[in-house]
Amino acid sequence: MEAAVVRFVFAVLGVFPLNASMAIGRWFGRAVSRLIPRLRKTAARNLEIAYPDKTEAEKRTIISGVYGSLGRQLGFIAHFKHFEPEDLKDLVEVRGAEENAFPAYDPEKGVLFITGHFGSWEVFSLLPPSFGYKLNILVRRIDNPLVEEFVDSIRTRFGAVTIGKREAGRNLFTILQNGGLLGILADLNAQHKDGVFVDFFGVSACTTASIAKIALRTGAAVLPAFAVWEEDKGRYVVYIEPKIEIEPSGSNQEDIHQLTQRITEVVEKYVRKYPDQWLWIHKRWNTRPKGEESLY
């Protein structure tokens, strides 16, 4: 039943022209938000932590924008089945490939793209035809296998390869050592055993250390890349930032912390620039340093 509902929603949204589908999706996202007060409460608390000076009206506008952004992404994804490889460059603008991505590529080290839950992170699965390289994306598999099969067929339609976190293992190192491109989300809360505490909006946030560990071990360039909706252009734009570099300290743990902090700073830069397109409904500051009370 769950898989049938998912397929039905995508099928209905896919019937309309692309712009209409995204507009309907945006309306649908905002409407659904009222049915899940728990997530709105989480978003409101996150905004209190990140923006203590914003008014309640400003925070409500951001939260509404977040749900609208999620719905717009849904409408866009519903059209993946209609897209053709030759259409992709007109549908998604990529900035920074020539200046940042291509110069950073090493056939023996690959490139490690880090991104976040902005605009439409699913847009990255459309990029292989534009880059001319196979893109590997680390994902969390959906618990319902029927839904996972359907979503994965959408994600991999244009040559992207998805790798489930549980099945990743040494595959990630092998991909990079063979000159592959690997994309990983870097903006979610991590557990103590998996993360390090870095500054995010002036508050300690437990952040995955795996990206820094992989990058330091393989020597792969770390490039931030974010797909955001630009209203004035009427399309998604992927911004690829210059590679992140650190000054080696001689301590592996310190280098991991330093690189994770630099990654998080770039994420914060984009959250501040596009606050209504980031996933505020996630408890980003949930894991606390030992002895510190929960922020939620």
Location of structure tokens 């250390």: 209
pLDDT at 25: 94
Question: What percentage of residues in the chain have a pLDDT greater than 90?
Answer: 79
pLDDT at 186: 93
State the average pLDDT over residues 138-165. Answer: 91
Residue 130 has pLDDT above 70, yes or no: no
State the average pLDDT over residues 217-242. Answer: 95
pTM of the model: 0.93
pLDDT at 129: 65
- By the 8 A CB rule, do 88 and 129 touch? yes
State the average pLDDT over residues 240-245. Answer: 95
Task: Look at 23-37, 66-80, 201-215 and tell me which has the smallest mean pLDDT.
Answer: 23-37
State the average pLDDT over residues 15-23. Answer: 95
pLDDT at 168: 76
Q: Using alpha carbons, select from 22, 50, 28, 106 the residue that is nearest to residue 272.
A: 50
pLDDT at 131: 62
Quote the CA–CA distance of 108 and 156 in Å, as a whole number. 24
- By the 8 A CB rule, do 215 and 259 touch? yes
Residue 32 has pLDDT above 80, yes or no: yes
State the average pLDDT over residues 115-123. Answer: 91
Quote the CA–CA distance of 203 and 281 in Å, as a whole number. 17
Angle made by CA atoms 59, 116, 111, in degrees to the nearest 5: 160
Q: Give the residue extent of every domain in the chain.
A: 2-277
Mean of all residue pLDDT scores within the chain: 92
Q: Each residue of 176-196: pLDDT tens digit? A: 999 999 999 999 999 999 999
Residue 128 has pLDDT above 90, yes or no: no
Q: Each residue of 256-265: pLDDT tens digit? A: 999 999 999 9
pLDDT at 85: 83
Residue 36 has pLDDT above 90, yes or no: no
Which range scores top for mean pLDDT: 80-89, 135-144, 253-262? 253-262
Q: Using alpha carbons, select from 213, 205, 207 the residue that is nearest to residue 252.
A: 213
- By the 8 A CB rule, do 161 and 137 touch? yes
pLDDT band (50, 70, 90) for residue 251: very high
pLDDT at 53: 95
